[in-house]
Amino acid sequence: MAMNINNLTNNNQVKQKIDQQTQVKQQATQNSAAAEQSKVASKDSVSITPQAKQLGELQKKANESSAVNQKKVEQLKKAIMSGEYKINPEKLAASIANFEFKLG
């Protein structure tokens, strides 16, 4: 088996090793930089505006409060049962007509 040994010297082999080590270091640096970028990119964040916070608080208060004034309902029930609640037919008719007019 014949080997070409004309270009082989110690300096060439050392130079090749140094080049290989440099390339390995560069790849390691690139890999670590890519890993750092992926860590930064994978972090999600959410920011809530003050208006959204205020709206959330208002919704919470609305859900906690009663939509019906139970005290007023009880007063009206008592007035109807006792016969004290009087209906004004003209005012009722005007209110119904006004409501219908706004719908149309």
HEC profile of 59-71:
HHHHHHCCCCCHH
Residue length of the chain: 104
**Does residue 94 belong to any structural domain of this protein?**
yes
Counted domains in the chain: 1
**Does residue 44 belong to any structural domain of this protein?**
no
**Does residue 48 belong to any structural domain of this protein?**
no
**Does residue 95 belong to any structural domain of this protein?**
yes
Per-residue pLDDT of the chain (104 residues; tens, 9 = 90+): 555 566 555 566 666 777 777 887 788 788 777 777 766 656 788 888 999 999 999 999 888 887 788 899 999 999 999 999 999 999 999 999 999 999 87
Cα 2 to Cα 24: distance, rounded to the nearest angstrom: 33
Question: 87: domain range?
Answer: 67-104
Cβ atoms of 96 and 87 within 8 Å: the answer is: no
**Does residue 73 belong to any structural domain of this protein?**
yes
pTM of the full structure? 0.32
**Does residue 23 belong to any structural domain of this protein?**
no
HEC profile of 14-41:
HHHHHHHHHHHHHHHHHHHHHHHHHHHH
